[in-house]
A and B are shown apart, each in its own frame.
Chain A
Amino acid sequence: MEPTNAIELQNITKKFGEVVANNKICLEVKKGEILSLLGENGSGKTTLMNMLSGIYYPDEGKILVDGKEVAIRSPRDAYELGIGMIHQHFKLVDIFTAAENIVLGLSGSRVLNMKAIEDDIEKLAQKYGFELDLNKKIYDMSVSEKQTVEIVKMIYRGANILILDEPTAVLTPQETSKLFDVLRNMRDDGKAIIIITHKLNEVLTLSDRVAVLRKGEFAGEVDTKDATEISLTEMMVGKKVDLDIERPEPHNVETRIEVKNVTCLDKYGIKALDDVSFDIRSGEILGIAGIAGSGQKEILEAVAGLQKVESGCIIYHNSKTNEEEELVGKSPLQIRNIGVALSFVPEDRLGMGLVGSMGMTGNMMLRSYREGGSFFTNTKEPEKLSETIKEELEVATPSLSTPVRKLSGGNVQKVLVGREIAASPKVLMTAYAVRGLDINTSYTIYHLLNKQKEKGVAVVYVGEDLDVLLELSDRILVLCSGKVNGIVDARTATKEQIGLLMTKLNEGGPLNEQ
Chain B
Amino acid sequence: MDSLISLIQAAIIFGTVIMFGAVGEIIAEKSGSLNLGVPGVMYLGGIASLIGVFFYENSTDNPNQIICVIIALVCAFLAAALGGLIFSFLTITLRANQNVTGLTLTIFGSGVANFFGGSLNKLAGGVGQISVATTSSAFRASIPALYNLGFIGKILFSYGFMVYAAIILAIFAQRFLTKSRAGLNLRAIGENPGSADAAGINVTLYKYLATCIGSGISGLGGMYYVMDYTKGTWANDATIESLGWLAVALVIFAIWKPRNTIWGAYLFGILYWVYAFWRETNVDLGFITLHLPALTRRTQELFKMIPYIVTIIVLVITSHRKKKEYQPPEALGLPYFREER
Q: Report which A residues bind B (CB closer than 8 A).
A: 16, 75-76, 79, 91-96, 100-101, 103-112, 137, 139, 153
Closest chain B CB from A141 CB (angstroms): 13
- B188–A94 touching, CB < 8 Å: no
5 new A-B contacts at CB < 8 Å, known A91-B198, A104-B185: A79-B200, A91-B192, A96-B184, A110-B180, A139-B324
By beta carbon, the residue of chain A nearest B193 is: A93
- State the CA gap A270–B184 with chains docked (Å): 33
Chain B residues contacting A16 (CB-CB under 8 Å) are: 341
Complex A-B, nearest 4 residue pairs according to Cβ-Cβ distance, in ascending order:
A105-B199, A91-B198, A91-B195, A105-B201
- A110–B182 touching, CB < 8 Å: yes
Closest chain B CB from A81 CB (angstroms): 13
- A75–B191 touching, CB < 8 Å: no
- B195–A75 touching, CB < 8 Å: no
- State the CA gap A107–B187 with chains docked (Å): 16
Return the contact of A110 from the options B181, B199, B324, B325 (Cβ within 8 A): B181
Chain A residues contacting B180 (CB-CB under 8 Å) are: 110-112
- State the CA gap A111–B175 with chains docked (Å): 10
Chain A residues contacting B341 (CB-CB under 8 Å) are: 16
Chain A residues contacting B195 (CB-CB under 8 Å) are: 91-93, 101, 104
Given contacts A16-B341, A79-B200, A104-B201, contact A96 B188 (CB under 8 A): yes
Given contacts A95-B325, A111-B179, contact A104 B191 (CB under 8 A): no
Chain B residues contacting A112 (CB-CB under 8 Å) are: 179-181, 184
Chain B residues contacting A109 (CB-CB under 8 Å) are: 181
Closest chain B CB from A467 CB (angstroms): 25
- State the CA gap A234–B13 with chains docked (Å): 79
Chain B residues contacting A91 (CB-CB under 8 Å) are: 192, 194-195, 198-199
- A103–B194 touching, CB < 8 Å: no
Residue pairs across A and B with Cβ atoms less than 8 A apart, 9 shown, are A91-B192, A91-B194, A96-B188, A105-B199, A106-B181, A107-B181, A109-B181, A111-B180, A112-B181
B57 within 8 A of A: no
Closest chain A CB from B211 CB (angstroms): 20
Q: Report how many residues on chain B are interfacial, defined by Cβ distance under 8 Å.
A: 22
- State the CA gap A328–B190 with chains docked (Å): 42
- The SS class assigned to the A binding surface is loop
Closest chain A CB from B186 CB (angstroms): 11
- A93–B198 touching, CB < 8 Å: no
B196 within 8 A of A: yes
Closest chain A CB from B9 CB (angstroms): 37
Chain B residues contacting A104 (CB-CB under 8 Å) are: 184-185, 188, 195-196, 199, 201
Given contacts A94-B330, A111-B181, contact A76 B200 (CB under 8 A): yes
- State the CA gap A93–B196 with chains docked (Å): 8
Return the contact of A75 from the options B200, B324, B325 (Cβ within 8 A): B200
Chain B residues contacting A96 (CB-CB under 8 Å) are: 184, 187-188, 191
Closest chain B CB from A22 CB (angstroms): 14
- State the CA gap A76–B196 with chains docked (Å): 11
Closest chain B CB from A157 CB (angstroms): 9
- State the CA gap A104–B194 with chains docked (Å): 12
**Most chain B CB neighbours (cut-off 10 Å) among A76, A96, A105, A111:** A105
- State the CA gap A165–B199 with chains docked (Å): 18
- A93–B200 touching, CB < 8 Å: no
- State the CA gap A107–B199 with chains docked (Å): 11
Return the contact of B191 from the options A94, A107, A108, A153 (Cβ within 8 A): A94
Question: Quick one: which of B168-215 are within 8 Å of A by CB?
Answer: 179-182, 184-185, 187-188, 191-192, 194-201
- B179–A105 touching, CB < 8 Å: no
Chain A residues contacting B188 (CB-CB under 8 Å) are: 93, 96, 104-105
Chain B residues contacting A105 (CB-CB under 8 Å) are: 185, 188, 196, 199-201
Chain B residues contacting A100 (CB-CB under 8 Å) are: 184
Closest chain A CB from B189 CB (angstroms): 9
By beta carbon, the residue of chain B nearest A47 is: B341
Given contacts A75-B200, A79-B200, A105-B200, contact A94 B192 (CB under 8 A): yes
By beta carbon, the residue of chain B nearest A80 is: B200
- State the CA gap A243–B280 with chains docked (Å): 92
Chain A residues contacting B182 (CB-CB under 8 Å) are: 110
- A137–B324 touching, CB < 8 Å: yes
By beta carbon, the residue of chain B nearest A100 is: B184
